[in-house]
């Protein structure tokens, strides 16, 4: 079956612009996660969704970052007023539900802020 | 707070040699432990995981890891390295009952002929 997909695969934007990153999880997976991978910070957790609600947003680095999930499926990560330090690969993952379930990762969106 | 330390950001082995990638964790609750592999320009793929039960866990591609609570370690091993094993390896922990993955900094494995 289809894995986790993310779009776009690459995004170049100018400093100060808003960007939206999309994640399509595996069908039937109720849990969805966003992570960020950057040279300086490694792999960092951003936010976790269970269904459409986000019980853990503790990893969002600032109020410029927000995310939503609709229909228990697609999720969008929005970064407002992008800064150069936002440049990174944004990874989405999904899992069936329970703690300890394997998280399946998408290929990521490489964001470059110029 | 939970954390993961991977000793050695770069490891180089000869083809056919033993692979040993080290991971130590800190967790205030019984952890679930994972090893993921990332090939160049690809996403993360699960190699193996420990949740409960047998402490020696076998994964894909001939890798295995042993959970040692007394040493707070979860080292990854493979008896004989292949060229195709060259990749970056990440150890991760989730505090028991919670899904957020906390990753180590990663170890880049190089395999030379």
Which residue did the predictor score with more confidence, A106 or B27? A106
Residue range B13-20: average pLDDT?
98
Q: In angstroms, what separates the C-alpha of A104 from chain B's closest C-alpha?
A: 7
CA pair distance A59, B34, nearest whole angstrom: 20
Q: Among residues of chain A, what percentage have pLDDT more than 90?
A: 86
Residue count of chain B, please give it. 113
CA pair distance B72, B97, nearest whole angstrom: 18
Statement: residue A1 has pLDDT above 60: no
Tokens 């330090």: give the residue: A85
Percent of residues in chain A assigned helix, strand, coil, to nearest 5:
5, 50, 45
From the candidates B3, B33, B43, which should be mutated to test the interface with A, based on the most A CB atoms within 10 A? Answer: B43
Which tens digit of pLDDT belongs to each residue from A59-104? Answer: 999 999 999 999 989 999 999 999 999 999 999 999 997 677 889 9
Cα atoms in the 13 Å half-sphere on the side-chain side of A44: 16
The whole-number pLDDT of residue B99 equals: 78
Tokens 């040493």: give the residue: B71
The whole-number pLDDT of residue A57 equals: 93
Which tens digit of pLDDT belongs to each residue from B58-67? Answer: 999 999 999 9
Q: Which residues of B28-61 are buried (b: 16+ CB within 10 A; e: fewer)?
A: eeebbbbbbbbeeeebbbbbbbbbeeeeebebee
Which residue did the predictor score with more confidence, B91 or B31? B91
Report the largest interatomic distance among the alpha carbons of chain A, rounded to a whole angstrom: 40
Reference B51, options A94, A96, A100; nearest CA is A100
Reference A31, options A8, A57, A54; nearest CA is A54
Concatenated DSSP letters of B3-42: EEEEE-SEEEEETTS-EEEEEEEE-SSPEEEEEEEE-TTS
> Residue B4 — left, alpha, or beta (φ > 0 → left; ψ -120 to 50 → alpha)?
beta
Q: In angstroms, what separates the C-alpha of B13 from chain A's closest C-alpha?
A: 24
Spell out which chain B residues touch chain A, with contact meaning CB-CB distance below 8 angstroms: 32, 36, 42-46, 49, 51, 90, 92, 94, 96-106
Beta strands A10-13; A109-113: pairing state: parallel
């Amino acid at each position: 079956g289809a894995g986790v997909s993310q779009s776009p695969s690459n995004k170049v934007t100018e400093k100060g612009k808003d960007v939206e990153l999309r994640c399509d999880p595996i069908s039937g997976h109720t849990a969805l996660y966003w992570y960020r991978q950057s040279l300086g910070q490694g792999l960092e957790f951003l936010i976790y969704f269970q269904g459409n609600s986000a019980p853990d947003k503790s990893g969002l680095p600032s109020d410029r970052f927000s995310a939503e999930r609709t229909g228990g499926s697609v999720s969008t990560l929005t970064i407002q007023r992008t800064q150069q330090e936002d440049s990174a690969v944004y990874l989405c993952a999904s899992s069936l539900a329970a703690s300890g379930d394997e998280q399946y990762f998408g290929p990521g969106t490489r964001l470059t802020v110029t | 707070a939970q954390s993961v330390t991977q000793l050695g950001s770069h490891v180089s082995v000869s083809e056919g040699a033993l692979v040993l990638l080290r991971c130590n964790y800190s967790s205030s609750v019984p952890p679930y432990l994972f090893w993921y592999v990332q090939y160049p320009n690809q996403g993360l793929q699960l190699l193996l995981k420990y949740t409960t039960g047998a402490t020696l866990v076998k994964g894909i591609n001939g890798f295995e890891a042993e959970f040692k609570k007394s040493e707070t370690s979860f080292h990854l091993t493979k008896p004989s390295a292949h060229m195709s094993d060259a990749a970056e390896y990440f150890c991760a922990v989730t505090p028991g009952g919670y899904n957020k993955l906390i990753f180590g900094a990663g170890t880049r494995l190089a395999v030379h002929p």
